[in-house]
Structure 1
Amino acid sequence: MNPITIAIDGFSSCGKSTLAKQLAAHLGYTYIDSGAMYRAVALHVMEQGLAPGGVLDRPALLAALDGIRIRFEHDPLSGHSATWLNGRNVEHEIRSMAVSQHVTLVSPVPEVRAKLVRLQQDMGRAKGVVMDGRDIGTVVFPDAEVKLFMTARPEVRALRRYHELKQKGQEVDLAAVQANIAQRDLDDTTRAADPLRKAADAIEIDNSDITAEEQFQRALDAVLGKLAAVGYE
């Protein structure tokens, strides 16, 4: 089977990363977490004090942008790729609620998006890639052979995210998680640069009421069906 590109887009806390990892492992493809890149930029903003009082210092961020180095490296402990920011492993740090809140500040910035889109395109140029995010099938890889769009009810996504953070030992409030998801949905769908939208040729999967296993099977069926239809199988 010839390698292809699989683009997975959707709202926050829809299980995009879980599905992307499952598909990549099953197909022997490379998984690239585009959301981790935005989280890494958000972490840099936090650590460098570029958003005092929750207000982004945009000129300072743009001045620092060229010095932000992001890469992925296989982590033998987890068996997955870990995100590295300027020479250090930040995979755990970027998953915090605080970083989630700062992502909404950096993700709408066109210069940030342009830098990360170029990086994502470079990473996926060789095919055999599964990448998830908000604009993978519409901007990063508009010609991807397979496009999936994930969605779920906001209250379902908030509860999943809440339990995920609690399992990681983080002290979080469900109402705060719900508010964060609502804000991210608003920001993702209304930003001027590359807003979240379903590609015309994407296959939509609503996972509000299905298990992760059922979601994987639906996605895999869609991928294999697409492969057969376009003659890759």
Structure 2
Amino acid sequence: MKVSRPARWPADADEAIAVQDRLRPLVDPINPGPPEFRTVAGLDSAYAETGEVATAVVVLDTATAELVDSSVAYGTVDFPYIPGLLAFRELPTTVDALEKLSTTPDLLICDGHGLAHPRLFGLACHLGVLTGLPTIGVAKNVWGEHTEPAAERGATADVTIDGRVVGRVLRTRTGVKPVFVSVGHRIDLDTACAQVLTLTPNYRQPETTRLADQRCRAALREHLAGRSATA
């Protein structure tokens, strides 16, 4: 698939914040029409202490939950760990992995934030702008204020930053910790939450995220083992 890759990635925090500020107005939080998500992709990255990273993308058929495409990309993280700028540690290999796909998914689900971000421009927003695809952020923690939703599956509560609703706390399993859903690009929050519920029939996290997590961790182990064997 095609991605609008920048000429170069930011080298420091000031450059990264400037990129977020420049691209943020391009985010479209509105669903352009009745959603027909025939395929959905999950993205996740695994890191080694050496700074090496493996990013996996898995694409599932939404009707059958069967795997229809996948890819893995490897790299070395150069960008420092800075809260609010974590996307810049993942973007280079994530874009590489997306470009390796032989299909273009209808929806991307990121293990991270969209609008629920201190500058309203998390990883899901950034990838949505670069790909032009509907994108959702599903995170295990949250920026902003919220209350605890009811205990049953499907219960929600708003997440706000400075009084603006930027996401929802969503209970995907009864009696289990919720996840935090936020719009990335070209989708509305109601549709985003409905898609996440559809993709969580058995576990807290969407199936796309679970499979991408498993694949990137396995790929990184194999990559490191292969490098050690040839050293």
Q: Same fold (TM over 0.5)?
A: no
More strand by share: 2
Q: State the structure with bigger RCO (CA 8 A, min sep 6), 1 or 2.
A: 1
Q: TM-score w.r.t. structure 2 length?
A: 0.24
Q: TM-score w.r.t. structure 1 length?
A: 0.24
More helix by share: 1
